[in-house]
Amino acid sequence: MQRARQVKYPKFPAPCREDIGCKTYLYRFKKEDTVPDKILLLPDNIANQIAAGEVIQRPASAVKELLENAVDAGATAIQLIVTDAGKTLLQVIDNGSGMSETDARMCFERHATSKIRNIDDLFHIHTMGFRGEALASIAAVAQVELKTKRAEDETGTFIEVANSTVTNQEPVAAPNGTSIAMKNLFFNVPARRNFLKSNAAEMRHIVEEFTRVTMSFPDILFTLTSNGQQLMHLEPGSLKQRIVQLLGNSYNAKMVSVTEQTDYMNIHGFTGKPETAKKTRGDQYFFVNNRFIKSAYLNHAVMNAYRELLPADSFPMYVLFIDLDPTQVDVNVHPTKQEIKFEDEKIVYAFVQAAVKHALAQFSITPTLDFDLDASIQQLTSVSQPFTDEKQEKVSGSSLYQGFTQKHQAHFIEKPSGQELKSWREFYAPLPKEDALFDYEKTAKQQNLVIQNKKSRFEIDRDTELTQVLNTYIIMPAATGFLLINQQAAHERVLYTQMKLAAAGAPVAIQKSMFPVTLELSPADAVLLNELLPDLLMLGYEIEPFGKNSFVVQGTPADLEDTDEKHLIDFTLEQYKHFSSDIRVSNREKLIRSLARQRAVKNGTRLTEREVRQLVTDLFQCDPFNTAPDGNPTYLEFKQDQIEKMFGR
């Protein structure tokens, strides 16, 4: 076989361009025929579209970038205008510094920025944007119109860009500042456009990004208009006023101020009192140097500060701003700049936890020790009577005393006899295979047969005795023992089954309200409720929009007892957001689960004999009946032989 010989090509051969710095000789192994080159430079428009995939994922991504650019321009008033949730139009108008004609043309070039001059500037960033890729990415996937003017210029500049190409540029009369309109997002990338969610879902993301930016700058006037209707008008004011405007009036008197200043970093903001805690993490915001970030590590610090004040499944509200030297933090680790790196994150963690704890303690929210001794304690015999030698000898001879006094014995526990453990081992031994509810080796038909057999064993009649204990559980006798039914889990299963049938085509009867209730929601919750209105109507809740962020409850399900409509809707929305992390279920499924949990009778509620019987009857008519919608069991079965073993019989 003939060996390929090494051929030295002339400097700058045809495939190599001098303008991109290819100043080395190219070597190629050549046989009889020349193999064509494989590596080519991407055209600018394709390179920009690839970059846009990282930066502009949906309309909300463009909202974030354009609002931050307006803030960096020194604007005191910023308008956000959207049509069809940003799919048709997304426009940001500001009264900032504006741009010259040259800058207006340059701003659409990749990595064109006024923030970075040398490598050191990258580690002293005080602005929101700095990489110079936002406008280039937007122009690669949308039709963009830019109108801008500086105060010292007589006329402004108008530029049209489509698919990274400038199609028109001309002078124009314009007010001071910048207006940039993004039209027909992903018009040239249909596959990306098809992946966008419904208008309501995309609008929720836009409101979320708008909330994050506006919360960082309470001294700027912001407005949000959607499809010609103004959703938000945020006047300049204090941070507390901006939080109340965005998150709702319910926090107005239920926030605690957090303020700590050190040589290393400063922390300020607000955190909610324990009674404002919710089942979701929605109202939690961290800002580092005015930039919103996501940090599970710092969130853990706040949760530790609340450790003894909240249940394990509750989350406090907080809006915390951390100010520290930009050299101590790296924001250039993620395309959206929402994930950052601290030089010493352990110090930041400790400061955040201490600041929140201090704020809670300062307002007498955290539990404190009472050092004033109760006079009645002095009357106890263990205090008033002397500790005689006889008592001392008796105590010191006990195994408990010796276990804590002898060296290395504090952890020692005497091993119980085998006879004592015998009954417990048998109690926890696996059930026989025929008694197992599910065996994954069985076919679906066999599994269904097992459930039906159990169902037939649990049927009740008029003579069946049902007893409620602890206002939480229902004891029901069975053939070989008894069932312990959790009333809340059982009721959730019953309501869930009923609402699933209603959603399948049998709408729930609606009871019209004699005195309709008006609901005032936060902007984000208002957008979410608008999205859920059709499904709520099918489930028996007639709710109508009533102006900006307001709704009127015209009717509720006919079988729903008197309740607080506002609390019902608030709780349902919270549960819906809680279930939203599960992408495997539909929006309607999440709503039904939320309503079932909201309406279910709560543990600790006393039920009448009739209510108990109806609940158990309805439960065993459900399919399945052994689990609640969240997968937890509705009952536990105790068999007679197992109980006897527990008593050593």
199 and 249 fall within a common domain = no
Residue 146 within a domain? yes
Q: What is the CATH number of the domain that holds 343?
A: 3.30.230.10
Q: 577-623, pLDDT tens digit by residue?
A: 766 555 556 777 878 888 888 788 888 889 998 889 889 988 988 88
What is the domain extent for residue 331? Answer: 239-362
508-510-511 Cα angle (round to 5): 145
75 and 161 fall within a common domain = yes
Bridge partners of 285, per DSSP, are 319
Name 429's Cβ contacts closer than 8 Å, sequence gap at least 6. Answer: none
Residue 66 within a domain? yes
Residue 395 within a domain? no
Residue 612 within a domain? yes
Q: What is the CATH number of the domain that holds 465?
A: 3.30.1370.100
What is the domain count for the chain?
3
Rounded distance, CA 308 to CA 102, Å? 59
556 and 604 fall within a common domain = yes
317 and 230 fall within a common domain = no
Mean pLDDT of 467-486: 88
Residue 411 within a domain? no
Q: 346-401, pLDDT tens digit by residue?
A: 888 889 999 998 888 877 665 544 444 444 444 445 545 555 666 666 656 655 55
Q: What percent helix, strand, coil does the chain show, rounded to 5?
A: 40, 20, 40
The burial class, CB within 10 Å (0-12 / 13-18 / 19+), for 289 is buried
Q: 435-468, pLDDT tens digit by residue?
A: 444 444 445 445 555 455 555 556 676 778 888 9
pLDDT at 232 over 80: yes
Rounded distance, CA 610 to CA 93, Å? 63
Residue 21 within a domain? no
Residue 12 within a domain? no
End position of a domain, from candidates 362, 396, 422: 362
Task: Report yes or no: 491 and 595 within 8 Å, Cβ to Cβ.
Answer: no
End position of a domain, from candidates 209, 234, 259: 234
Q: Identify which has the larger pLDDT, 401 or 217.
A: 217
pLDDT cut 70: percent of the chain above it:
70
pTM exceeding the 0.85 threshold for the entire prediction: no
592 and 496 fall within a common domain = yes
219 and 159 fall within a common domain = yes
Bridge partners of 181, per DSSP, are 91, 145
225 and 76 fall within a common domain = yes
Residue 585 within a domain? yes
91 and 123 fall within a common domain = yes
357 and 488 fall within a common domain = no
Q: 78-98, pLDDT tens digit by residue?
A: 999 999 989 999 999 999 999
Q: What is the CATH number of the domain that holds 193?
A: 3.30.565.10
End position of a domain, from candidates 362, 379, 401: 362
180 and 199 fall within a common domain = yes
293 and 188 fall within a common domain = no
211, 213, 218, 224: CA torsion to nearest 10: -60
189 and 253 fall within a common domain = no
